[in-house]
Amino acid sequence: MNIRSLTRGDGVVIGAAVLLFIASFLDFYTIDCGGSSFCKDAGENGWKSDFFPVLPSIFLAGVIAAALIVAARFQPAGRNLFGLSLEQWGSALAVFAAWSSLWTIIGGPDGVDKGVGQILGLIATLAMAAVALLTQRVPALKAPLMNASAPAPSPYGAQGPQPGYGYPGPGGAQPGAPAPFGSQPGQPQPGQPFGGQPAPAPAPSGGGDFAPFWFAVPVTRPLYAEDGSSSTIAELAPGTWYLAVEQRGQALVAQTQDGRRGVLQDTTGIQRG
């Protein structure tokens, strides 16, 4: 688990989930009797069975949505559940929770007022749904949650210069692990020492002068199919080294640890090994 995989959008989702959980214990509906002696002013929270299905469709759905979105950051690229990624399931569930919460504000039983728990629940679910849908499209939300000036993480969360697959530092790869094309295991590419500053976006290739190299991404980025379609075959995660095997204009053809190849269209801020 690498906490540097979390984005600012994930931080907002976590905050919204905490607010939603607190709101579930606050009054969802309140009854104002207007001083009548035949009833008593009261309020009930979202856990009250009389309000079913408020609890599962708003509060539990929102908290589970946040858990799925955050858990997706720590899963291997390409892992799906019934054809959808955990992030996609979480985003859909967040939208469902916001939709359900919106209708309780619009409707509701006669003679009751909106409680603070209901209002906070709507705010939390709307914020969660909006951020879940926009995180991969808004650069400010895609930025790392942790300070970008912190030392770059070692591959797979290892501490110090531990050898392993794709590690371009001293010690090289373990026996049987592939080394960068055209270089010896453990030897960084000329002019790109390990631990250097993030590399600028690669310049367009002029032909056969491209040399494969190892790189890491600053934030989670999609890897698209090589056929030029918009389908995503994997997600590249920070803290893991990948092999760039070809250059196509400003984009790179990258190879994952399990041998899959795809096009990395956004190469800004990558760190070369």
- pLDDT tens-digit map of 57-103: 999 999 999 999 988 887 766 667 777 888 889 999 999 999 999 98
Cβ contacts of 109-112, under 8 Å, gap ≥ 24: 109/29, 111/31, 112/29, 112/30, 112/31
Q: Is the pLDDT of residue 177 over 50?
A: no
**Mean pLDDT of the 257-273 span:** 87
The per-residue pLDDT for range 15-65, each reduced to its tens digit, is 999 999 999 999 888 876 665 555 554 567 888 877 788 889 999 999 999
Q: Which domain holds residue 218?
A: 189-273
Q: Is the pLDDT of residue 146 over 90?
A: no
Domain containing 263 — which CATH number?
2.30.30
What is the per-residue pLDDT for 171?
44
User: In 10 A of CB 206, how many CB atoms?
Assistant: 8
pTM, whole model, 2 decimals?
Answer: 0.51
What is the per-residue pLDDT for 136?
79
> In whole numbers, what is the pLDDT of the chain averaged over residues?
76
Whether residue 42 is contained in a domain is answered as yes
Backbone angles phi, psi at 251, to 5 degrees: -95, 165
Contact 189, 213 (CB under 8 A): yes
What is the per-residue pLDDT for 17?
94
Whether residue 152 is contained in a domain is answered as no
Give Cα 101 distance to the centre of its chain.
24
Whether residue 7 is contained in a domain is answered as yes
For the chain, count helices (H), then strands (E): 6, 10
DSSP 8-state secondary structure symbol assigned to residue 237: -
Whether residue 151 is contained in a domain is answered as no
Q: Is the pLDDT of residue 159 over 90?
A: no
Tally the domains of the chain. 2
Whether residue 167 is contained in a domain is answered as no
